[in-house]
Amino acid sequence: MSANILIVGCGAIGGLFAAALSSVAKVTALDVNDEHVKVIRSRGLRITGRNPRVVKIEATSDPSTLKDKRFDAIIFLIKSKMTAAALSQLQPVLSGNPLLATLQNGMGNAEVLLSASDAIVVRGVTMNAGRYVEAGSVEGLIEGKTWLGPVRGNVADVRPLAELFNKGGMETDVVADPMGAVWSKFVFNCIMNPLGALMMGENAARYDAPEMRALIDDMAAECTAVVQALGGTFAFPPMDYVDKVRSGEIPRSRHAGSMALDIERGAPTEIDELTGFIVREGERLKIPVPNCKAVYRLVKGLELASLRRVTKAR
């Protein structure tokens, strides 16, 4: 019997995972974008990039339509600020005790999912990247690896979902403790996402300007100090991807991160759950993080300016 998977948030990364899993499972997408859902239901979800295709999945923007459905796993790929509200709306489908998985950016998502009593909770990160193009369409930009591990449960509980990811073409490793991979990707996101937004989505500026390269390195040192003070370790060097781009080992993409796309469309960012976390913990632990603090403050201002610009345009 095919597994039933619910993807909460069918934007850039959610769309890529929904498309991959559609070949090996029955996939339903829950997304707040009514137009996006309408196009997916009528014409399918279109993936562009290196592996273009159109896949047929179920989609809805109304959580109440899911109340009679049962899922084997629910994968959260929405903004961190929305996790608690989404979980609350999904209470009717939680009675079937599905596995709950987060591949979201930022800290705090797994802790929210743990509030669902007795549910197996899986935490992970992915190096895949994409962007929402238009209603019904997502572009794959970077093909990367995914790591999954248990927060509540054990490795055996995680394997069936990882096997689906791998069968669907998303290279995935299962680890006993996912936090090493989580911290590695977290530090990368704390630095590269806000700087991509501040560079107005121009990825080349993050690499070509000597001052930007120096800022990246300074922020990396600050983030590493905070994570290590919290007892965190790294499964892989957080800035490994950046180092490989700088050396020419891998090509530089045109993707400047999801935060740049949020700023472009006047949407809330995840700056509080990313760099803001480093700033708060740095202050609590009395670890100086002046570069992270400055970037955090700049993005908060940029976020407000972007929202006002878009609101005024309407």
pLDDT tens for each residue of 176-216: 999 999 999 999 999 999 999 999 999 999 999 999 999 99
Stretch 277-286: mean pLDDT: 98
Query: Does the structure show a pLDDT above 60 at 75?
Result: yes
Whole-number pLDDT of residue 215: 98
Query: Does the structure show a pLDDT above 80 at 314?
Result: no
| Domain 3-177 superfamily per CATH | NAD(P)-binding Rossmann-like Domain (3.40.50.720)
DSSP, residue by residue, the chain: -PEEEEEE--SHHHHHHHHHHTTTEEEEEE-S-HHHHHHHHHH-EEEESSS-EEE--EEES-GGGGTT---SEEEE-S-GGGHHHHHHHTHHHHTT--EEEE--SSSSHHHHHTTSTT--EEEEEE--EEEEEETTEEEEEE---EEEEEEES-HHHHHHHHHHHHHTT--EEE-S-THHHHHHHHHHHHHHHHHHHHTTT-HHHHHH-HHHHHHHHHHHHHHHHHHHHTT---SS-TTHHHHHHHHTSSPPPS---HHHHHHHHT---STTTTHHHHHHHHHHHT---HHHHHHHHHHHHHHHHHHHHHHHH-
Query: Does the structure show a pLDDT above 80 at 161?
Result: yes
Phi, psi for residue 117 in degrees, rounded to 5: -55, 130
Residue bearing tokens 């999954």: 148
Stretch 110-138: mean pLDDT: 94
Query: Does the structure show a pLDDT above 60 at 1?
Result: no
% of residues, the chain, pLDDT over 70: 100
Stretch 283-305: mean pLDDT: 98
Whole-number pLDDT of residue 248: 95
Of the candidates 62, 121, 49, which has an alpha carbon nearest to the alpha carbon of residue 89?
A: 62
Q: What is the CATH number of domain 180-313?
A: 1.10.1040.10
d(CA 33, CA 79): 13
Stretch 134-152: mean pLDDT: 95
d(CA 30, CA 65): 10
Residues 27-58 have pLDDT tens digits of: 999 999 999 999 999 999 999 998 899 999 99
- Per the model's pLDDT, the better-predicted residue between 96 and 151 turns out to be 151
Whole-number pLDDT of residue 118: 87
Residue 123 near residue 182 (C-beta atoms within 8 A): yes
Stretch 222-250: mean pLDDT: 96
Rg (CA), the chain: 19
Of the candidates 76, 134, 82, which has an alpha carbon nearest to the alpha carbon of residue 265?
A: 134
Among 181-185, 280-284, 307-311, which is the least confidently predicted range? 307-311
Whole-number pLDDT of residue 312: 86
Q: Identify the band that residue 2 occupies on the pLDDT scale cut at 50, 70 and 90.
A: confident
Domain locations in the chain as residue ranges: 3-177, 180-313
Cα dihedral 289/295/299/302 (nearest 10): 140
Q: What is the pTM of this model?
A: 0.91
Phi, psi for residue 101 in degrees, rounded to 5: -125, 140
Contacts of 36 (CB under 8 A, 6+ apart): 10, 11, 59, 132, 135, 136
